[in-house]
């Protein structure tokens, strides 16, 4: 591919290990380190990047595509989504816009609809949502179970996610049986209570799907799982060989989601809307934790490395929550990721370009910081080294913008900005 006005390689090999990768680089530093090339070309061989450099020095290739002055980024790495669901919650959203606040209880509405959905319908819905994400430039996608909440329904969701990972439609699958205590465990009239549900999650449910997921997650919040229960979930997941993720400090700081994630060496704590200075510092302190090689090519070990603070700008807007303090986190030196949190309750969009624009316009990140968080940041949160950048050897995941410069993502918010999307060397749009 030639005729590239800006090529954001974000190549880790060009990064100064004494200053990076903790704080996201300023535009100037990114450019100075050769992470943004101008008038550039990129060569794809099979599924990976084989060469990047000045267009004038591009080697011969079997096929040549002129991008006519467009900017090229690594495809977005969306490290947090909940795509496996049926049902509609637009009325809940409308009520929220009329003044009601978000509460975790809406998860039960989606759970009821998802349990009732046939397998084919559920798979078609998920595939449709993946197609939407790819059309917006997402090339690495994590998704979670969490709307089944029985052994059978969580296993079904995990098996579907695993099939889609094996087929190359998804990249990472996460078990979120600890999303909500379902209604049938309310402890009333002789029915089992929340403790029994927790026993189920960390016992038979986890065992039933462990081969199908790489991660375990927990919604650590009042109304969902308190800190002690969340710790139990994470420790059971670790014992089963899974990497750890936490939904933390979303609705309040009443539970200690961030501290728990840091203590347990979770790869990521997501939402992070309600943080004290100590939380920010605790996350920043994990930036020095080294990663180590993982289970296969492009995989880092799930249990080593920083705890990434994943901010979810679309969710913050859709719930009218205080925006996560992305600026403060970056300034403190924490690793930050941006993800869509696509789900029917709090963020029904997989539009990562929109999330990046919001992070620039509303969270006060620089363009380079936001792009990095939505690519390299997400990759670190998923413990992946093969995606989120376009260094030589990376998976050839490209987002060709319908714009001469990446700043147009924020300069022209809401405009269609995706011209082409390539995943693993194959053009999808």
Q: Name the one range near ligand NIG by CB under 6 A: 46-54, 190-198, 332-340, 342-350.
A: 342-350
Q: Hey, how many other C-beta atoms are within 10 angstroms of the C-beta on 395?
A: 25
Angle 6-335-377 from CA coordinates, rounded to 5°:
45
Does residue 100 have a known ligand-binding role? no
Choice from 21, 106, 148, 391 touching ligand NIG (CB under 6 A):
106
Which residues are 48's β-sheet partners?
A: 45, 395
Q: Name the one range near ligand NIG by CB under 6 A: 32-40, 105-113, 300-308, 368-376.
A: 105-113
Contact present, 212 and 197 (Cβ < 8 Å): no
Rounded CA-CA distance 172/267 in Å is 13
Residue (of 405, 415, 375) closest to 79 by Cα position: 375
Rounded CA-CA distance 217/377 in Å is 18
Does residue 420 have a known ligand-binding role? no
Q: Toward ligand NIG, which CB reaches closer, 342 or 360? A: 342
Please report, as residue ranges, which positions from 307 to 336 form the binding site for ligand NIG (by CB under 6 A): 315
Does residue 343 have a known ligand-binding role? yes
Left, alpha or beta for 424 (phi > 0: left; psi -120 to 50: alpha)?
left
Does the footprint of ligand NIG cover residue 346 (CB under 6 A)? yes
Least distance between ligand NIG and beta carbon 127 (Å): 20
Structure tokens at 11: 């190549």
The site map against ligand NIG for 64-83 (x = CB under 6 A) is ------------------x-
Residue (of 8, 78, 106) closest to 49 by Cα position: 8
Q: Name the one range near ligand NIG by CB under 6 A: 44-52, 283-291, 339-347, 395-403.
A: 339-347
- CA 191, 88, 219, 133 dihedral sign is positive
Residue (of 114, 86, 135) closest to 402 by Cα position: 135
Does residue 395 have a known ligand-binding role? no
Q: Name the one range near ligand NIG by CB under 6 A: 162-170, 341-349, 376-384, 411-419.
A: 341-349
Least distance between ligand NIG and beta carbon 271 (Å): 7
Does the footprint of ligand NIG cover residue 129 (CB under 6 A)? no
Query: CA-CA distances (angstroms) from residue 403 to 74, 199, 337, 418, 425?
Result: 15, 52, 24, 9, 21
Q: Buried b / exposed e across 316-349, counting CB within 10 Å, b at 16+?
A: bbbbebebbbbbbbbebbbbbbbbbbbbbbbbbb
Q: Name the one range near ligand NIG by CB under 6 A: 22-30, 64-72, 337-345, 392-400.
A: 337-345
Structure tokens at 94: 């409308």
Q: Name the one range near ligand NIG by CB under 6 A: 128-136, 194-202, 205-213, 343-351.
A: 343-351
Does residue 411 have a known ligand-binding role? no
Sort strands 426-427 and 418-423 into parallel, antiparallel or unpaired.
Answer: antiparallel
Does residue 341 have a known ligand-binding role? yes
Least distance between ligand NIG and beta carbon 406 (Å): 27
Query: CA-CA distances (angstroms) from residue 358 to 239, 273, 317, 365?
Result: 38, 15, 9, 9
Does the footprint of ligand NIG cover residue 381 (CB under 6 A)? no
Please report, as residue ranges, which positions from 220 to 279 form the binding site for ligand NIG (by CB under 6 A): 247, 250
Choice from 107, 134, 261, 370 touching ligand NIG (CB under 6 A):
107
Query: Chain centroid to CA 205: how far?
Result: 24
Does the footprint of ligand NIG cover residue 174 (CB under 6 A)? no
Does the footprint of ligand NIG cover residue 341 (CB under 6 A)? yes
- The sheet carrying 48-54 orders its strands as 48-54, 36-45, 2-8, 66-74, 398-401, 418-423, 426-427
Q: Toward ligand NIG, which CB reaches closer, 8 or 93? A: 93
Contact present, 421 and 428 (Cβ < 8 Å): yes
Sort strands 243-248 and 268-271 into parallel, antiparallel or unpaired.
Answer: parallel
Choice from 243, 344, 351, 377 touching ligand NIG (CB under 6 A):
344
Q: Toward ligand NIG, which CB reaches closer, 244 or 300? A: 244
In the complex, which residue's CB is closest to ligand NIG? Answer: 345
Choice from 93, 185, 219, 348 touching ligand NIG (CB under 6 A):
219
Least distance between ligand NIG and beta carbon 71 (Å): 31
Count residues binding ligand NIG (CB under 6 A): 13
Q: Toward ligand NIG, which CB reaches closer, 216 or 315? A: 315
Q: By CB under 6 A, name the binding residues for ligand NIG.
A: 82, 106-107, 110, 219, 247, 250, 315, 341, 343-346
Binding-site annotation: residue ranges for Fe(3+): 80, 82, 247, 341
């Amino acid at each position: 591919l030639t005729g590239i006005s800006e090529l954001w390689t974000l190549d880790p090999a060009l990064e100064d290990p004494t200053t990076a990768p903790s704080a996201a680089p300023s535009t100037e530093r990114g450019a100075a380190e050769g992470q943004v090339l101008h008038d550039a070309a990129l060569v794809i061989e099979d599924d990976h990047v084989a060469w990047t450099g000045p267009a004038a020095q591009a080697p011969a290739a079997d096929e040549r595509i002129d991008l006519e002055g467009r900017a090229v980024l690594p495809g977005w790495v969306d490290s947090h989504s909940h795509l496996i669901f049926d049902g509609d919650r637009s009325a809940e959203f409308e009520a929220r816009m009329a003044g009601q606040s978000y509460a975790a209880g809406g998860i039960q509405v989606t759970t009821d609809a998802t349990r009732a959905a046939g397998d084919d319908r559920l798979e078609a819905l998920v595939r449709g949502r993946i197609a939407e994400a790819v059309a917006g430039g997402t090339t690495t996608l994590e998704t979670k179970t969490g709307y089944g909440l029985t052994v059978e329904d969580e296993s079904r969701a995990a098996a579907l996610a695993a099939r889609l990972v094996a087929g190359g439609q998804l990249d990472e699958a996460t078990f979120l049986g600890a999303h909500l205590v379902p209604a049938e465990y309310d402890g009333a009239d002789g029915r089992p209570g929340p403790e029994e549900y927790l026993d189920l999650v960390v016992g038979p449910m986890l065992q039933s799907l462990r081969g199908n997921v790489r991660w375990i997650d927990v919604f650590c919040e009042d109304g969902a799982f308190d800190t002690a229960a969340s710790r139990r979930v994470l420790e059971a997941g670790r014992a089963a060989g899974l990497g750890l993720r936490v939904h933390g400090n979303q609705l309040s700081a009443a539970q200690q989601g961030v501290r728990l994630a840091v203590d347990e060496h979770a790869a990521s704590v997501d939402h992070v809307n309600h943080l004290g200075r100590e939380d920010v510092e605790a996350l920043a302190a994990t930036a020095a934790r080294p990663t180590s090689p993982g289970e296969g090519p492009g995989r880092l070990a799930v249990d080593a490395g920083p705890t990434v603070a994943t901010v979810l700008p679309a969710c913050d807007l859709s719930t009218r929550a205080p925006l996560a303090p992305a600026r403060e986190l970056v300034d403190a030196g924490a690793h930050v990721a941006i993800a869509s949190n696509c789900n029917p309750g709090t963020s029904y969009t997989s539009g990562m370009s929109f999330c990046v624009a919001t992070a620039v316009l509303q969270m006060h990140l620089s363009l380079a910081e936001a792009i990095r968080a939505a690519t390299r940041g997400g990759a670190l949160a998923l413990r992946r080294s093969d995606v989120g950048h376009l260094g030589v050897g990376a998976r050839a995941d490209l987002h060709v913008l319908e714009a001469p410069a990446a700043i147009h993502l924020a300069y022209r918010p809401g405009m269609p900005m995706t011209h082409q999307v390539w995943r693993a060397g194959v053009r999808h749009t």
